[in-house]
Amino acid sequence: MHSALRRAMLAVSLMTAFISTAGAQTYPNRPVTLVVTQGVGSGSDITARLLAGYLGPILGQTVVVENRAGASGIIGHQSVARAAPDGYTLLFTSTAGLFVVPVMNPNAKYSLADFTPVAPVLRAPFAVLVANTPEAPKTMAELMASLRAKPQSFASAGVGTMTHLGSELVLRKAGVQATHVPYKGSGAALTDLMGGQMLFATDSLTAAMAHIRSGKLRALATTDNAREGSLPDVPTLAEAGIPGVQVAAIGGLFAPKGTPQDIVDKIAAATAKVLANPEVVQRFAAVETDPLRITMPAFLNLLRRESEVWSPLVQQLGLKQE
């Protein structure tokens, strides 16, 4: 009896393995949905649609972008976490959605552990910015001295955004304080910064570069390990005397937990081809974004390091979002 049971279990196991392998070999045989947690026209939406347009022909199926916005991205993240782990529902998300929102909002009820990382996609660098006026600080040293001299404020795109947390991280590393003034988006924050209502902001070059080129904003430092190609004369934070701070939005593709590895590998290989396409590289560069062309082990290590920075910072600041 036990022998018959073992044979039956072995048969089921072999059949399951066969079905999984066969599924991977034929994947995809219908359109793939790429979920974006922000609205149409947002930076994430534009990037996802660019990616989908090039991924589709490589995979041999249409990749349909679906905007599931709302609740700071919680709706979109939860929907993918609950989707079938078959490779037909993917998520495009980034640092804040993975490591900030779940800590700030108890209703999120998801974490990185609910997803399978599929492929790195982008890295969007940031910079510390001030108004380009005669009285504004000209260096990071001058900015820190100004903050030590009297209470002043910094602008952000909203509570818990990378623009908020990036400034908080810089302030903590420098040992100074400033009052946070959140806005509804980078556009409004940078407008008031240019108008002199705020002393400084930390924001993405995607949002700020047009204002830097127009002469309305000055970048005091960039927030990555190396200088940015589009701002070769602007020092890094480390060069400016504040080492150990990196601020960038890291974006990638994720699938529901349990998605078969061979399907994940197929999507990852297709994504790597997209990011190597000179047209895609050029379109990324036009919006001050770098294709994140690293190995999967390096991507997993990067995600781990990001989680160790941003989630504890949210807890230390006591940020809550209901």
| Mean pLDDT on 9-25 | 53
The residue extents of the domains of the chain are 27-124+249-317, 125-222
Per DSSP, the three-state class of 140 is helix
pLDDT in tens, 289-314: 999 999 999 999 999 999 999 999 99
Q: Is 125-222 assigned to CATH 3.40.50.720?
A: no
The pLDDT, as a whole number, for residue 318 is 94
Tokens 């806005």: give the residue.
183
The letter for the amino acid at 92 is F
Extract the tokens encoding 227: 């200088």
pLDDT in tens, 259-292: 999 999 999 999 999 999 999 999 999 999 999 9
Tokens 């430092």: give the residue.
221
The pLDDT, as a whole number, for residue 43 is 86
- To the nearest whole number, what is the mean pLDDT of the chain? 92
d(CA 15, CA 280): 41
Do 271 and 118 touch, CB atoms closer than 8 A?
A: yes
State how far the alpha carbon of 87 is from the alpha carbons of 36, 70, 143, 180, in Å.
16, 24, 48, 41
Q: How confident is residue 11, by pLDDT bands cut at 50, 70 and 90?
A: low
The pLDDT, as a whole number, for residue 1 is 44
The pLDDT, as a whole number, for residue 16 is 53
The pLDDT, as a whole number, for residue 23 is 52
- The pLDDT of residue 175 is above 80: yes
Do 128 and 176 touch, CB atoms closer than 8 A?
A: no
If residue 169 lies in a helix (H) or strand (E), which one and from where to where? helix 162-174
In this structure, which CATH number among 3.40.50.720, 3.40.190.10, 3.40.190.150, 3.40.50.1970 belongs to the domain 27-124+249-317?
A: 3.40.190.150
Q: How confident is residue 19, by pLDDT bands cut at 50, 70 and 90?
A: very low
Bridge partner residues of 123 (DSSP): 250, 290
| Mean pLDDT on 101-125 | 95
pLDDT in tens, 187-215: 999 999 999 999 999 999 999 999 999 99
Q: Which residue has the higher pLDDT, 13 or 90?
A: 90
Q: How confident is residue 254, by pLDDT bands cut at 50, 70 and 90?
A: very high
